[in-house]
A = this chain, B = another copy of it.
Amino acid sequence: MLAPVAMKTHRLEPLLNPGSIAIVGASNNAARIGGMPIAHLTQFGYQGQVYPINPKYSEVFGLRCWPDIEALPVAPDLVVLAIAAADVLPMLRRCAARGVRAVIVYAAGFAEEGARGAAMQAELEAYVATTDMVVAGPNAMGFANLNTQAHTNFASVFNTAPMQSGRGSVSLLTQSGNVCAAVYAIARRLGVDFSHFINTGNEACVDFAQYLEYLAQDVATEVCMGYIEELRDGPRFMDAAEAFVRQGKLLILYKAGETDKGSEAVRSHTSALAGDKAVYQAAFRQLGIIQSHDFVQMAQLAHLAGYRHRSAGKRVAIITISGALGAILADKFIGAGLEVPTLPQALQDQLRAGIPDYGMVSNPVDVTGNVVNDPGFVRTAMQALAQSEAVDSVVIYAPGYMLDRMADDLCAVSARFSKLFVAIDTGAAKTREQLRAGGVPVFEDIGVAVSALAPFLLWQERRRHNRWLQVRGQAAPTRAALPDSLDEYRTKQLLARHGVPAALERVATTADEAAAAADAIGYPVVLKVLSADIAHKTEAGGVRLRLADAAQVRQAFDEVLASARRYDPQARIEGALVCRMESGVAELIVGATRDPVFGMTLTVGLGGVLTELYQDVSHRLLPVDEAMAREMLQELKAFPLLTGYRGRAQGDVDAACAAIAGFSRAVLALGDQVQEVEVNPLLVMEQGVCMLDALVLTAPQAA
């Protein structure tokens, strides 16, 4: 047998799971920030040592109060500073000298309050970097470890929300104390039991990603509900999120600031940039994170997470006692992205044996009100559904009293089969807790059920084969050197080397060379001025289409160069590009831009002004392989234009996917040398694809 591996204690352990806690600025008043944590610690049964510190008192909440930190018999794991901003830095020095491992700073008045506060925060950060201490905040409401009742917060929600009786496995991690408290209150009302209550404050020394790293390795935490305004360290966040989800834990994140007004409120709140909504959405999805926009939904997802080890997926069987309710559920599930497949005939026949003619067996299944008169049938039907490979999950919606009559059967089937059965009861079933304990989650509202089930089942579906987490770990491509000049030809050649097909084209530096190139390529041709300094070739009069013979090419060469020189006398003109005049089925735009949080991000859409108006684009973090590229194309509402819509020609989707994957490799190989890369358009033909134009913008530091 191997010896047990010595677990390295996580750096944030003294902050989030402290064995002893001192409160500097302790107060006897439970309504004050120096009193509330001590009130909570004594009231809720924290077993560790608590040291109130305040020279004014000898006792606080029945505990001995110490005059200063130096007077303590031992160095506490964690010190809570309930003191004013100006006093924080001197006190941190004393904590460090005393050997304290972790500190929470409540005080506001730092980076969120103008230049002076920002300077003070910078000073704090610089000092803490010279120590071994972990410092949370400033401007934070403090934490709670609900499994040890280590309360280091001044959150009055713990005075009003009912305290859980047992252990919890759901952690809260928010960039706002008030959101932390609001979600806690809502989730407690819905019966969620918590492990950690964390709000990050100004994140001077510990940011969101580091807390998430902690929760990833925290055995008490199986679910994290998070709230984000701005991520300070995107790559670290991605690694932490990946570590979290790779363990099968459920990560649910709310990102605020999606509208201008919302992001204005967030900015003013934490001086943070809200970031690009679409990129966050892509990142969450690729990382296997469920994005939520509703606190109740988050809480219900946390509840569902307890059933995440059951087998489940997006093909849902709906069982009701009424065609109308079946219709309503089918509308809602399909609208939310799930599937309600027609059941196989054999299964329908099995169901029909117990369902009257006016009931339905196809899915939704309307067992009709009569079914309760035949309890044996309920079990048979549920077993048949549990064993069917045509559906992944089963949802039963029946009035409370009918659900009560089915509860034993449901629990029995759920005990024997791993498939997820879910009950909806908008009445007052008495068996809700029996069902939940028996492996059947129960919702008391249709809307809430759909809003939680849909993302949960889609998450179950995706986590089985999260393609991106596989390709993300692969070795990065060899770094590609940037050519001296990023003119159109060299840009295309660069991309072509990674697998994005260029059109048949040649560089010509004289009219004769142009004519010879055209002869070789075959007519008609396009002739374009070649200059890394001229981005808008058409505007510069630098493009001629449909040139039919050598004479036209010669003339075009001279005209185009003259026109370009008039347009920009300073531009270095390298000649002209002679290209075969291609036509195809559709034009794509394939671009990569650098997101400040998540790095290089790929965008695919159909070219043209309507695509822009309809915002019909798909985003992904890199790398993107061919399978992901196909998913991106399929997400476009305009995708049918590539696949023979209404008798049109079919485009070569395979070639487009290969080109997009090649584009992704090229962008990764260029790395931090570039700021933006774009192929616009990528012409999709019946056979193959080719770049008609391409552009690279170098990164400021590389320029």
Contact = CB atoms under 8 A, between A and B. Distances in A.
Interface string A248-263: 0000001011110111
Interface stretch (A18-26, A57-65, A292-300): A292-300
Interface in A293-324: 293-297, 320-324
A160 B427 contact: yes
Given A399-B157, A610-B638, A268 B323 contact: yes
A198 B157 CA distance: 43
B399 A156 contact: yes
B327 A263 contact: yes
A200 to B, nearest CB: 12
Given A335-B259, A446-B295, A268 B360 contact: yes
A127 interface: no
A417 interface: no
Contact of A324 (B175, B610, B646): B175
A601 interface: no
A293 B335 CA distance: 11
A182 interface: yes
Interface string A425-459: 01110000000000000000111100000000000
A266 B614 contact: no
B445 A296 contact: yes
Interface in A415-429: 426-428
A390 to B, nearest CB: 14
Contacts of A181: 399
A366 interface: yes
A118 interface: no
A182 B638 contact: no
Contacts of A259: 330-331, 334-335
A268 B368 CA distance: 13
B358 A427 contact: no
A254 B178 CA distance: 36
B262 A185 contact: no
Given A295-B446, A325-B178, A257 B331 contact: yes
A447 B297 contact: yes
A269 B157 contact: no
A517 B340 CA distance: 61
A188 to B, nearest CB: 10
Contacts of A185: 399-400, 426-428
A332 B448 CA distance: 17
A182 B265 contact: no
Interface string A102-117: 0000001000111000
A322 B358 contact: no
A159 B174 CA distance: 44
Nearest to A254: B328
Contacts of A358: 108, 112-113
Contacts of A322: 176-179, 269
- Considering residues A270, A447, A646, which has the most beta carbons from chain B within 10 angstroms of its beta carbon? A447
A511 to B, nearest CB: 33
A364 interface: yes
A389 interface: no
A257 B332 contact: no
A331 B256 contact: yes
- Considering residues A181, A229, A263, A324, which has the most beta carbons from chain B within 10 angstroms of its beta carbon? A324
A401 B160 contact: yes
Contacts of A261: 327, 330-331, 334, 340, 363-364
A428 B161 contact: yes
A613 interface: yes
Which 8 A-B pairs rank lowest in CB-CB distance, beginning with the nearest?
A269-B323, A176-B324, A178-B322, A262-B331, A265-B327, A261-B330, A265-B326, A262-B327
Interface of A: 108, 112-114, 156-157, 159-161, 174-179, 181-182, 185-186, 227, 229, 254, 256-259, 261-266, 268-270, 293-297, 320-328, 330-332, 334-335, 340, 357-358, 360, 362-364, 366, 399-401, 426-428, 445-448, 608-610, 613-614, 616, 637-638, 640-641, 645-646
